[in-house]
Amino acid sequence: MKPISDKLRDFTGQNIYVGMDVHHKSWKVHIYSDEFELKSFSQEPDVGQLYNYLNKSYKNANYQIAYEAGFCGFWIQRSFALKGVNCMVVNPADVPTSNKEHLRKTDNVDSRKIAKGLKNGELNCIHVPSITVELDRQLLRTREQLIADSTRCKNRIKAFLKLHGITIPDEYSNGKWSKKFIVWLQQLKFQTESGNKAMQIYLSEFVLLENQKKLVTKEVLVLSQSSQYNGSVFLLMTIPSIGLLTAMILLTELGDITRFKGVKTLSAFGLLYSTSNTPKTFGNL
């Protein structure tokens, strides 16, 4: 079906469906009405630019916009919501895709199938957390990332020791990186100054990560005592094996628990969470 000219129609009161394939430097946009495929174009990643274009080209229409969840998070959705425009963030796996689209995957194809799925009522919006909950969640995830970075740093140091045939004394082989163990590492001497510098850099990175982790943990403690969380944290900590950090992960990752229809959907979320790239603590419950 060939696109028709925008100037030949009056869009007052009609529905305009906008599918976007968002990237860091550009957005691919595809537009449908209830009856026709209207427009396809690329633009800068700017909410105001697209909003102004829609108002100019399809004045007084009811705009519905959708894009796939990804690196850009929810700021686009929130920006359109502030302008009174309905914008959905959808799971990429939920967007209907034909075999031809699988074989011929381009930005234009992706934006078109999102717009078409939106028009046909085939898309479901994923939960968009409040900006407060999302930022609080980031604090907990930052702590988990620091733990992962610290573990990688430890592994690099141990690999460096093995590479040069240095055995860790039995008194430090319990896996705990105590202050005495750090001092022992600092006192190691290699055959060249380059080797000594390499070890110093590894140890400096490890100490920095550990200090950052302690700082973030203190901030989480402060956050847990705020009016938004302290009551729920107290209740969760009455459950055996749930401590303060796990309670805060639950509260920030789940957000509004009423969004789950029942135990099955909550369990499905927990399973998805535990197999994703996000922190694993919740998945261990």
Q: pLDDT tens digits for 10-59? A: 678 899 999 999 999 999 999 999 988 999 999 999 999 999 999 999 98
Let me know whether 111 and 149 are in one domain.
no
- Please check whether residue 87 lies inside any domain of the structure: yes
How far is 32 from 121, CA to CA, in rounded Å? 13
Domain boundary among 72, 88, 119: 119
CATH number at residue 92: 3.30.420.40
Above 60 in pLDDT, residue 245?
Answer: yes
Q: Is residue 1 part of a domain?
A: no
Same domain membership, residue 50 and residue 113: yes
Of 214, 272, 212, give the one whose Cα is nearest residue 283: 272
* Better pLDDT: 104 or 77: 77
Q: Which of 71, 89, 119 is the last residue of a domain?
A: 119
> Which range among 96-110, 125-139, 157-171 shows the weakest confidence by mean pLDDT?
96-110
Task: Say yes or no: 115 and 160 in one domain.
Answer: no
Same domain, 207 and 93: no
- Classify residue 48: in a domain, yes or no: yes
Query: Cα dihedral angle (135, 47, 18, 254), rounded to 10 degrees?
Result: 0
75: pLDDT strictly greater than 60: yes
- Same domain (yes/no): 88, 141: no
Q: What is the DSSP letter of 93?
A: G
Number of neighbouring beta carbons within 10 Å of residue 68: 22
Residue 167 inside a domain? The answer is yes
**Average of per-residue pLDDT across 156-174:** 94
Answer yes or no: is 126 within a domain.
Answer: no
Q: Express each pLDDT in 216-242 by its tens digit.
A: 999 999 999 999 999 999 999 999 999
Residue 273: give the domain boundaries.
Answer: 131-284
Residues 144 and 82 occupy one common structural domain: no
125 domain-assigned? no
Residue 40 and residue 32: Cα distance in Å, rounded?
Answer: 9
Residues 115 and 18 in one domain: yes
CB-based contact 137:253 (threshold 8 Å): yes
Q: Above 70 in pLDDT, residue 161?
A: yes
Contacts 24+ apart (CB under 8 A), 238-245: 241/285, 242/285, 244/220, 245/140, 245/143, 245/217, 245/220, 245/281
What's this model's pTM, rounded to 2 decimal places?
A: 0.79
Q: Are residues 161 and 280 in the same domain?
A: yes
84 and 153 assigned to the same domain: no
Whether the pLDDT of residue 142 is over 60: the answer is yes
The total number of structural domains that make up the chain:
2
Residues 229 and 271 in one domain: yes
Same-domain pairing of 98 and 149: no
- What value does the mean pLDDT take over residues 270-281? 52
Amino acid at 108: N
C-alpha span between 161 and 7 (Å, rounded): 72
Tell me the C-alpha distance between 58 and 15, whole Å: 9
| 90 occurs within a structural domain | yes
Which helix (H) or strand (E) is 83 found in, with range?
Answer: none
User: Are 151 and 16 found together in one domain?
Assistant: no
Q: Which of 87, 119, 151 is the last residue of a domain?
A: 119
**Quick check: is 176 in a domain?**
yes
